[in-house]
Amino acid sequence: DTGVSQDPRHKITKRGQNVTFRCDPISEHNRLYWYRQTLGQGPEFLTYFQNEAQLEKSRLLSDRFSAERPKGSFSTLEIQRTEQGDSAMYLCASSGAAGEETQYFGPGTRLLVL
């Protein structure tokens, strides 16, 4: 049973560039979450998918951010026109159906915007 995977693990980009991250959840999990974690802080919720439907978005998710889960399996998080304040760890988590709520996290993508 493979866990949650994320790609890439590290990304360095210049301000103004677009970046895209991918998350592959645990295969039987229909719930998928994205979180952002800045240095010294706990993760903060960004958005949630149940199957392919994006059901909740945090106000942290500005217009420059977009997330998709086209076939209810893997998900992508895109940041357009990156800013230095976007530098953070982006964590993906997945969980099973209601009643199996534990979220299992991937290794994260560490983004540095220069």
Residues that bind other proteins (CB under 8 A): 31, 33, 35, 40-45, 48, 50, 55-56, 89, 91, 93, 95, 98-99, 101-108, 110
Closer to other proteins by Cβ: residue 20 or 89 = 89
CB 39, min distance to other proteins, A: 11
> Residue 63: which residues within 8 A CB-CB, separation 6 or more?
none
- Give 63 or 101: the residue with its C-beta nearer to other proteins: 101
Evaluated on CA atoms 70, 22, 46, 34, the torsion sign reads positive
Task: Tell how strand 10-13 and strand 109-113 pair up.
Answer: parallel
Minimum distance, C-beta of residue 70 to other proteins, in the bound complex (Å): 20
Smallest separation (angstroms) from other proteins to the CB of 17: 23
Smallest gap, in angstroms, from Cβ of residue 16 to other proteins?
26
DSSP 17: -
Rounded to whole angstroms, how far apart are CA atoms 74 and 67?
11
Residues 90 and 34 sit within 8 Å (Cβ to Cβ): yes
